Every structure is written in structure tokens, then in C-alpha cells.
Amino acid sequence: MTVISLTFNLPPLSLDADNRAISSESNNLHQQILKTRFDWENYSASNFNLQDAIDEVKNLFLECRKENWDGYFAQPISIKSLSHAIKFLISLPSWLEGPSISVEPDGEIEFEWRGPNNKVFSVSIGENNTITYAGIMGDGEEISGQTKFDDSIPQKIIQNISETIE
């Protein structure tokens, strides 16, 4: 399989961009370029950046790998928890928005998604490879539970994340 990576360093979109088009065709082209830039900037801003999320988890591990990292007797993040958390991130569908990432006092790594109308869904994963989840869905319904995390994220977790952010 061949993969091509393209990097676009576009200057910020200006709504009053200088349009020196003379013909209707060049004016249409100018408008299409502005629309494409706008669409690209919105796409780039909303999609999940896997490498950034992995880097954030690694940085949290470095900050919280010792007991009492928070000054309130918090448990450290273990290497196993770090490994499971990275595996979880890699398993997320690329079309999902990225989560906010934090560490819980029990040493588990938490991933949280917030959506409109006060919807929230969080997933914690630790040493034992169990996903603990909780959420408040659109109708105010509270959900929670645990499930095993093996080679893929269970569909009910993906569905809950998707429902939260839509």
C-alpha cells in the first residue's frame, strides 16, 4: 500500500481577500479557492489528531507516574495503563472528534467527549484492560458500566461517543 502525506500551510482565511479577478471565470475560481480554504480549515480543526492525543497521553504518564502525583495520594499511571490507553486511541475511528484526556486519582487514563445540550461521555482505562464508562446522554439518561477492551473498542462505546458529540 502506498501512502501520501500532504501538508498544507495556508495563511488564515480572510473574508475580505483581495480579488483582482476581471472575468467571471476568474472570479468564480477565486470564490472556489476561498470556499476550499474555508472547508479545509474547518476539516482540519474538527478532526481527531491521533499523534497529538498519543503525545498527550505520554506526557501525562511522565507527569503522573509516581505515587501521590497530585498531592492527595493519587495512584501512579502504570506502563500497562499507558499501553492500553494508546491502544484505545489507535482503535478509535478517525471520523470521531478527539477526546479531552486526563488522569484519574486511581491511575486510570480518562477520555472524555462533550456535546451539545450538556451531553458528556467518559471512558477510563487502566491496568486490567477494562473500560469503565459513564455518560449523560441527550435526554438526560445516565448510563454507566464496564466492558473488556481486547483488540477493538466495543460498538456500544463507539455508539455512545457518537451520540454524545452529534
pLDDT at position 46 is 47
pLDDT at position 24 is 77
Q: Which residues of the chain have pLDDT under 50?
A: 1-10, 13-16, 39-46
Q: What is the pLDDT of residues 97-129, one digit of tens each?
A: 899 999 999 999 999 999 999 999 999 999 999
pLDDT at position 39 is 45
pLDDT at position 81 is 95
- Per domain, the residue ranges of the chain are 50-165
DSSP string, 83-151: HHHHHHHHHS-TTSPPPEEEE-TTS-EEEEEE-STT-EEEEEE-TT-EEEEEEE-TTS-EEEEEEE-SS
